[in-house]
Structure 1
Protein backbone atom coordinates (compact mmCIF):
# COMPACT_ATOMS: atom_id res chain seq x y z
CA UNK A 1 0.00 0.00 0.00
CA UNK A 2 1.24 3.46 -0.84
CA UNK A 3 1.00 6.71 1.05
CA UNK A 4 -1.45 7.85 -1.58
CA UNK A 5 -3.86 4.97 -0.71
CA UNK A 6 -3.65 5.85 2.98
CA UNK A 7 -4.47 9.49 2.22
CA UNK A 8 -7.52 8.52 0.13
CA UNK A 9 -8.77 6.14 2.81
CA UNK A 10 -8.33 8.78 5.51
CA UNK A 11 -10.38 11.26 3.47
CA UNK A 12 -13.21 8.74 3.04
CA UNK A 13 -13.62 7.90 6.71
CA UNK A 14 -15.64 10.39 8.68
CA UNK A 15 -15.25 10.90 12.40
CA UNK A 16 -17.92 9.12 14.42
CA UNK A 17 -20.30 11.67 15.94
CA UNK A 18 -21.19 11.61 19.59
CA UNK A 19 -24.53 10.09 20.61
CA UNK A 20 -25.85 13.61 21.10
CA UNK A 21 -24.70 14.65 17.64
CA UNK A 22 -26.27 11.57 16.13
CA UNK A 23 -29.54 12.19 18.02
CA UNK A 24 -29.71 15.77 16.76
CA UNK A 25 -28.93 14.54 13.23
CA UNK A 26 -31.76 11.98 13.39
CA UNK A 27 -34.20 14.57 14.74
CA UNK A 28 -33.25 17.05 12.03
CA UNK A 29 -34.55 14.63 9.40
CA UNK A 30 -37.93 13.88 11.01
CA UNK A 31 -39.69 13.64 14.35
CA UNK A 32 -38.73 10.56 16.36
CA UNK A 33 -40.25 9.06 19.47
CA UNK A 34 -38.05 8.79 22.52
CA UNK A 35 -38.06 4.97 22.26
CA UNK A 36 -37.21 5.08 18.56
CA UNK A 37 -34.33 7.46 19.19
CA UNK A 38 -32.91 5.28 21.97
CA UNK A 39 -33.17 2.18 19.77
CA UNK A 40 -31.41 3.81 16.82
CA UNK A 41 -28.61 5.15 19.00
CA UNK A 42 -28.13 1.78 20.72
CA UNK A 43 -28.03 0.07 17.32
CA UNK A 44 -25.40 2.63 16.32
CA UNK A 45 -23.07 1.18 18.93
CA UNK A 46 -23.29 3.87 21.58
CA UNK A 47 -23.06 2.92 25.25
CA UNK A 48 -26.32 2.80 27.19
CA UNK A 49 -25.26 5.65 29.50
CA UNK A 50 -24.30 7.83 26.53
CA UNK A 51 -27.63 7.07 24.84
CA UNK A 52 -29.60 7.96 27.97
CA UNK A 53 -27.66 11.21 28.44
CA UNK A 54 -28.09 12.20 24.78
CA UNK A 55 -31.82 11.51 24.78
CA UNK A 56 -32.33 13.42 28.03
CA UNK A 57 -30.44 16.38 26.57
CA UNK A 58 -32.52 16.55 23.37
CA UNK A 59 -35.72 16.21 25.41
CA UNK A 60 -34.63 18.96 27.82
CA UNK A 61 -33.76 21.28 24.91
CA UNK A 62 -37.12 20.59 23.28
CA UNK A 63 -35.67 18.91 20.20
CA UNK A 64 -37.60 15.73 20.95
CA UNK A 65 -41.14 15.60 22.28
CA UNK A 66 -43.33 12.49 22.23
CA UNK A 67 -46.52 14.59 22.15
CA UNK A 68 -45.28 16.48 19.08
CA UNK A 69 -44.20 13.20 17.46
CA UNK A 70 -47.65 11.73 18.13
CA UNK A 71 -49.43 14.76 16.65
CA UNK A 72 -47.33 14.68 13.49
CA UNK A 73 -47.75 10.94 13.00
CA UNK A 74 -51.50 11.08 13.68
CA UNK A 75 -52.03 13.86 11.13
CA UNK A 76 -49.89 12.07 8.56
CA UNK A 77 -51.60 8.71 8.97
CA UNK A 78 -55.10 10.22 9.02
CA UNK A 79 -54.24 12.03 5.80
CA UNK A 80 -53.12 8.73 4.33
CA UNK A 81 -56.51 7.20 5.10
CA UNK A 82 -55.86 5.26 8.29
CA UNK A 83 -58.33 5.05 11.14
CA UNK A 84 -57.86 5.99 14.78
CA UNK A 85 -57.33 2.44 16.04
CA UNK A 86 -54.48 1.76 13.63
CA UNK A 87 -52.87 5.12 14.40
CA UNK A 88 -53.16 4.52 18.15
CA UNK A 89 -51.58 1.07 17.79
CA UNK A 90 -48.68 2.51 15.81
CA UNK A 91 -48.11 5.25 18.37
CA UNK A 92 -48.24 2.67 21.15
CA UNK A 93 -45.56 0.63 19.35
CA UNK A 94 -43.37 3.75 19.39
CA UNK A 95 -43.70 3.95 23.16
CA UNK A 96 -45.95 7.00 23.26
CA UNK A 97 -48.07 7.35 26.41
CA UNK A 98 -51.82 6.78 26.24
CA UNK A 99 -52.59 10.38 27.19
CA UNK A 100 -50.42 11.72 24.36
CA UNK A 101 -52.07 9.30 21.92
CA UNK A 102 -55.57 10.43 22.93
CA UNK A 103 -54.55 14.08 22.66
CA UNK A 104 -52.93 13.58 19.24
CA UNK A 105 -56.02 11.83 17.86
CA UNK A 106 -58.28 14.56 19.24
CA UNK A 107 -56.07 17.29 17.73
CA UNK A 108 -56.31 15.81 14.24
CA UNK A 109 -59.96 16.91 14.05
CA UNK A 110 -60.38 14.13 11.51
CA UNK A 111 -63.80 13.19 10.17
CA UNK A 112 -63.22 9.45 10.57
CA UNK A 113 -66.42 8.34 8.77
CA UNK A 114 -65.56 10.58 5.80
CA UNK A 115 -62.00 9.21 5.69
CA UNK A 116 -63.35 5.65 5.83
CA UNK A 117 -65.82 6.40 3.04
CA UNK A 118 -63.03 7.86 0.87
CA UNK A 119 -60.90 4.77 1.44
CA UNK A 120 -63.80 2.50 0.59
CA UNK A 121 -64.55 4.43 -2.61
CA UNK A 122 -60.89 4.63 -3.56
CA UNK A 123 -60.40 0.91 -3.13
CA UNK A 124 -63.73 -0.45 -4.38
CA UNK A 125 -65.28 2.38 -6.39
CA UNK A 126 -68.52 4.21 -5.76
CA UNK A 127 -70.88 1.35 -6.50
CA UNK A 128 -72.38 -0.57 -3.61
CA UNK A 129 -72.89 -4.29 -3.45
CA UNK A 130 -75.63 -6.53 -2.20
CA UNK A 131 -73.36 -9.59 -2.02
CA UNK A 132 -72.80 -10.45 1.66
CA UNK A 133 -69.30 -11.84 0.98
CA UNK A 134 -68.28 -8.66 -0.81
CA UNK A 135 -69.71 -6.51 2.00
CA UNK A 136 -67.73 -8.58 4.52
CA UNK A 137 -64.60 -8.13 2.41
CA UNK A 138 -65.11 -4.37 2.35
CA UNK A 139 -65.76 -4.28 6.07
CA UNK A 140 -62.59 -6.28 6.75
CA UNK A 141 -60.63 -3.82 4.60
CA UNK A 142 -61.83 -0.88 6.68
CA UNK A 143 -61.21 -2.72 9.94
CA UNK A 144 -57.61 -3.44 8.87
CA UNK A 145 -57.19 0.25 8.11
CA UNK A 146 -58.06 0.96 11.75
CA UNK A 147 -61.65 2.16 11.70
CA UNK A 148 -63.98 1.15 14.52
CA UNK A 149 -66.72 -1.41 14.03
CA UNK A 150 -69.55 1.13 14.37
CA UNK A 151 -68.17 3.27 11.53
CA UNK A 152 -67.51 0.23 9.37
CA UNK A 153 -70.95 -1.22 10.03
CA UNK A 154 -72.68 2.05 9.27
CA UNK A 155 -70.77 2.49 6.01
CA UNK A 156 -71.35 -1.02 4.77
CA UNK A 157 -75.06 -0.80 5.65
CA UNK A 158 -75.29 2.60 3.93
CA UNK A 159 -73.51 1.21 0.89
CA UNK A 160 -76.01 -1.65 0.76
CA UNK A 161 -78.90 0.77 0.97
CA UNK A 162 -79.90 0.08 4.58
CA UNK A 163 -81.44 3.33 5.83
CA UNK A 164 -80.07 3.10 9.38
CA UNK A 165 -76.82 4.69 10.60
CA UNK A 166 -75.64 6.50 7.47
CA UNK A 167 -73.01 9.24 7.39
CA UNK A 168 -74.32 11.40 4.57
Structure 2
Protein backbone atom coordinates (compact mmCIF):
# COMPACT_ATOMS: atom_id res chain seq x y z
CA UNK A 1 0.00 0.00 0.00
CA UNK A 2 3.01 2.26 -0.42
CA UNK A 3 2.58 3.17 -4.09
CA UNK A 4 2.11 6.67 -5.51
CA UNK A 5 -1.67 6.29 -5.51
CA UNK A 6 -1.89 5.51 -1.83
CA UNK A 7 0.59 8.30 -1.03
CA UNK A 8 -1.65 10.73 -2.91
CA UNK A 9 -4.76 9.43 -1.16
CA UNK A 10 -3.04 9.66 2.23
CA UNK A 11 -1.98 13.24 1.53
CA UNK A 12 -5.49 14.12 0.38
CA UNK A 13 -6.95 12.59 3.57
CA UNK A 14 -4.48 14.48 5.74
CA UNK A 15 -5.16 17.79 4.02
CA UNK A 16 -8.93 17.32 4.36
CA UNK A 17 -8.52 16.69 8.09
CA UNK A 18 -6.22 19.70 8.49
CA UNK A 19 -8.62 21.92 6.52
CA UNK A 20 -11.29 21.37 9.17
CA UNK A 21 -9.10 22.16 12.18
CA UNK A 22 -5.55 21.92 13.48
CA UNK A 23 -4.41 18.47 14.54
CA UNK A 24 -1.47 17.31 16.61
CA UNK A 25 1.00 14.94 14.98
CA UNK A 26 -0.28 12.19 17.26
CA UNK A 27 -3.92 12.75 16.25
CA UNK A 28 -3.19 12.91 12.54
CA UNK A 29 -0.98 9.80 12.72
CA UNK A 30 -3.73 7.88 14.54
CA UNK A 31 -6.42 8.94 12.06
CA UNK A 32 -4.34 8.08 8.99
CA UNK A 33 -3.36 4.69 10.40
CA UNK A 34 -7.02 4.01 11.19
CA UNK A 35 -7.75 4.60 7.50
CA UNK A 36 -5.33 1.82 6.62
CA UNK A 37 -2.19 3.69 5.64
CA UNK A 38 1.09 2.05 6.60
CA UNK A 39 3.46 3.25 9.30
CA UNK A 40 6.24 4.23 6.88
CA UNK A 41 3.91 6.11 4.55
CA UNK A 42 2.36 8.01 7.46
CA UNK A 43 5.80 8.90 8.87
CA UNK A 44 6.96 10.24 5.50
CA UNK A 45 3.74 12.20 4.99
CA UNK A 46 3.88 13.78 8.46
CA UNK A 47 7.50 14.79 7.87
CA UNK A 48 6.47 16.46 4.59
CA UNK A 49 3.55 18.27 6.21
CA UNK A 50 5.78 19.55 9.02
CA UNK A 51 8.40 20.74 6.51
CA UNK A 52 5.66 22.51 4.53
CA UNK A 53 4.36 24.03 7.80
CA UNK A 54 0.95 22.51 7.28
CA UNK A 55 1.23 20.54 10.52
CA UNK A 56 2.44 22.10 13.76
CA UNK A 57 2.00 20.92 17.34
CA UNK A 58 2.69 24.47 18.54
CA UNK A 59 -0.04 25.94 16.35
CA UNK A 60 -2.39 23.14 17.43
CA UNK A 61 -1.67 23.84 21.11
CA UNK A 62 -2.23 27.58 20.66
CA UNK A 63 -5.59 26.96 18.98
CA UNK A 64 -6.59 24.48 21.66
CA UNK A 65 -5.69 26.85 24.51
CA UNK A 66 -7.72 29.64 22.93
CA UNK A 67 -10.69 27.38 22.26
CA UNK A 68 -10.77 25.60 25.61
CA UNK A 69 -10.18 28.78 27.64
CA UNK A 70 -13.09 30.46 25.86
CA UNK A 71 -15.26 27.51 26.88
CA UNK A 72 -14.43 27.95 30.55
CA UNK A 73 -11.64 25.42 31.04
CA UNK A 74 -8.60 26.15 33.15
CA UNK A 75 -4.90 25.66 32.51
CA UNK A 76 -4.59 22.34 34.35
CA UNK A 77 -7.33 20.68 32.28
CA UNK A 78 -6.03 22.14 29.02
CA UNK A 79 -2.50 20.95 29.85
CA UNK A 80 -3.78 17.43 30.51
CA UNK A 81 -5.78 17.36 27.26
CA UNK A 82 -2.81 18.55 25.20
CA UNK A 83 -0.54 15.91 26.71
CA UNK A 84 -3.20 13.26 26.05
CA UNK A 85 -3.13 14.34 22.40
CA UNK A 86 0.61 13.79 22.17
CA UNK A 87 1.85 17.38 22.41
CA UNK A 88 5.32 17.57 23.99
CA UNK A 89 5.50 18.90 27.53
CA UNK A 90 7.85 21.72 26.51
CA UNK A 91 5.41 22.96 23.88
CA UNK A 92 2.49 22.75 26.32
CA UNK A 93 4.33 24.73 29.00
CA UNK A 94 5.51 27.37 26.53
CA UNK A 95 2.08 27.87 24.96
CA UNK A 96 0.33 28.11 28.34
CA UNK A 97 2.88 30.66 29.59
CA UNK A 98 2.59 32.77 26.45
CA UNK A 99 -1.21 32.58 26.26
CA UNK A 100 -2.85 35.94 26.65
CA UNK A 101 -5.48 34.58 29.02
CA UNK A 102 -6.39 36.04 32.40
CA UNK A 103 -7.06 32.73 34.14
CA UNK A 104 -8.60 34.37 37.22
CA UNK A 105 -11.03 36.24 34.96
CA UNK A 106 -11.83 32.99 33.10
CA UNK A 107 -12.47 31.28 36.45
CA UNK A 108 -14.71 34.14 37.61
CA UNK A 109 -16.62 34.09 34.30
CA UNK A 110 -17.08 30.31 34.47
CA UNK A 111 -18.28 30.56 38.07
CA UNK A 112 -20.71 33.39 37.34
CA UNK A 113 -22.06 31.68 34.22
CA UNK A 114 -22.76 28.49 36.16
CA UNK A 115 -23.99 29.93 39.46
CA UNK A 116 -24.90 33.56 38.76
CA UNK A 117 -25.83 35.42 41.92
CA UNK A 118 -26.92 32.34 43.85
CA UNK A 119 -25.49 32.68 47.34
CA UNK A 120 -23.41 30.02 49.04
CA UNK A 121 -25.40 28.91 52.07
CA UNK A 122 -23.37 25.96 53.32
CA UNK A 123 -19.93 24.45 53.23
CA UNK A 124 -21.35 21.59 51.16
CA UNK A 125 -22.49 24.06 48.50
CA UNK A 126 -19.14 25.86 48.52
CA UNK A 127 -17.26 22.54 48.26
CA UNK A 128 -19.46 21.43 45.36
CA UNK A 129 -18.75 24.65 43.49
CA UNK A 130 -15.04 24.47 44.22
CA UNK A 131 -15.00 20.87 42.95
CA UNK A 132 -16.77 21.92 39.73
CA UNK A 133 -14.10 24.58 39.12
CA UNK A 134 -11.31 22.16 40.01
CA UNK A 135 -12.70 19.62 37.52
CA UNK A 136 -12.70 22.40 34.93
CA UNK A 137 -8.94 22.70 35.41
CA UNK A 138 -8.48 25.57 37.84
CA UNK A 139 -6.08 25.21 40.76
CA UNK A 140 -7.29 25.22 44.35
CA UNK A 141 -5.26 28.39 44.99
CA UNK A 142 -6.94 30.18 42.08
CA UNK A 143 -10.37 29.02 43.25
CA UNK A 144 -9.74 30.34 46.76
CA UNK A 145 -8.33 33.58 45.37
CA UNK A 146 -11.38 34.21 43.20
CA UNK A 147 -14.36 32.83 45.14
CA UNK A 148 -12.75 32.84 48.58
CA UNK A 149 -12.91 30.25 51.33
CA UNK A 150 -16.24 29.34 52.82
CA UNK A 151 -16.83 31.54 55.83
CA UNK A 152 -13.95 33.89 55.00
CA UNK A 153 -14.59 37.59 55.03
CA UNK A 154 -12.75 38.33 51.80
CA UNK A 155 -14.23 40.71 49.26
CA UNK A 156 -14.50 37.89 46.72
CA UNK A 157 -16.13 35.37 49.04
CA UNK A 158 -19.68 34.64 47.98
CA UNK A 159 -21.78 34.03 51.05
CA UNK A 160 -25.42 34.13 51.92
CA UNK A 161 -26.50 37.34 53.52
CA UNK A 162 -29.22 37.44 56.15
CA UNK A 163 -31.66 40.23 55.47
Do both share a fold (TM > 0.5)?
A: yes
| Structure with the greater alpha carbon radius of gyration | 1
CA distance in 1, matches of 2:27, 2:79: 16
- The aligned counterpart of 1:89 is 80
How large is the RMSD of aligned CA atoms in angstroms? Answer: 2.0
Unaligned runs of 5+ in 2: 158-163
In the TM superposition, what are the counterparts of 1:73-152 in structure 2 within 5 Å? 73-152=64-143
2:58 to 43, 67, 70: 67
> Under a length normalisation based on structure 1, what TM-score does the superposition of the two structures give?
0.83
| Greater alpha carbon shift after TM alignment, 148-157 vs 49-58 | 148-157
Question: In 2, are the aligned partners of 1:32 and 1:64 still within 8 Å (CA)?
Answer: yes
| Greater alpha carbon shift after TM alignment, 103-112 vs 150-159 | 150-159
1:20 aligns with 2:11: yes
Unaligned runs of 5+ in 1: 1-14
- The aligned counterpart of 1:44 is 35
CA distance in 2, matches of 1:160, 1:116: 20
Paired residues, number: 152
> Under a length normalisation based on structure 2, what TM-score does the superposition of the two structures give?
0.85
CA distance in 2, matches of 1:104, 1:151: 19
1:31 aligns with 2:22: yes
Q: What is the deviation of 1:30? A: 0.8
CA deviation profile, 1:22-61 (whole Å, cap 9, x unmatched): 1122111110000000000000011111111111110111
- The aligned counterpart of 1:11 is none
CA deviation profile, 1:112-148 (whole Å, cap 9, x unmatched): 1111111111111123313100000000000000001
